[in-house]
């Protein structure tokens, strides 16, 4: 056997092996590689979308949290304002009530003072009448005497 014939046989066998590999083995391997490439690309794209969605969700969460804080601050401010208004309103009512009670007490004192004057006037007139009766027992008529005392009481009062 010559080296040339062996070499030609090996070349034919190699070519046949290459052709069979290219025809039957290579296409499924390439298809599997392409399919795997597509799956990896889809996975990477999904991971990127997930990262973007996480960033958007974080931004949205921060926005919602900020809005909630602002709203709670607004509610607290409103409640504080209302509490201050209630305190002021209570102070005003207490002041009005105090003034009303003071006026009522002054009116009661005035009423009692007038009543005491009237009682004193009656007692003075009764004492004067008794004294006059004792002094003048029968010199003056009772009706005239009462009229005189009434006029005197009006002048005093």
pLDDT in tens, 91-120: 999 999 999 999 999 999 999 999 988 888
Percentage of residues of the chain with pLDDT beyond 70: 92
Q: Tell me the torsion sign for CA atoms 137, 143, 146, 151.
A: negative
Residue 1 in domain: no
Residue with tokens 């974080």: 58
Torsion sign, CA atoms 34, 35, 40, 46: positive
85 in any annotated domain:
yes
Structure tokens of 62?
A: 């921060």
Residue 123 lies in a domain: yes
Q: Is the pTM of this model over 0.85?
A: no
Which domain range does residue 26 map to?
6-156
Structural domain count, the chain: 1
C-alpha 75 chain-centroid distance:
4
Position of tokens 């004792």?
134
């Amino acid at each position: 056997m010559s080296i040339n014939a062996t070499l030609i046989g090996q070349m034919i066998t190699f070519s046949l092996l290459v052709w069979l590999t290219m025809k039957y083995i290579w296409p499924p391997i390439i298809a599997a590689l392409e399919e795997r490439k597509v799956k990896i690309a889809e996975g990477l794209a999904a991971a990127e979308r997930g990262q973007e969605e996480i960033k958007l969700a974080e931004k949205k969460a921060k926005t919602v949290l900020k809005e909630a804080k602002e709203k709670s601050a607004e509610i607290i401010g409103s409640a504080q304002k209302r509490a201050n208004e209630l305190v002021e309103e209570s102070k005003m009512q207490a002041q009005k009530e105090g003034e009303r009670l003071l006026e009522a007490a002054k009116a009661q004192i005035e009423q009692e003072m007038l009543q005491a004057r009237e009682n004193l006037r009656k007692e003075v007139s009764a004492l004067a009448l008794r004294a006059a009766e004792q002094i003048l027992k029968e010199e003056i008529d009772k009706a005239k005497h009462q009229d005189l005392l009434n006029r005197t009481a009006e002048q005093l009062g």
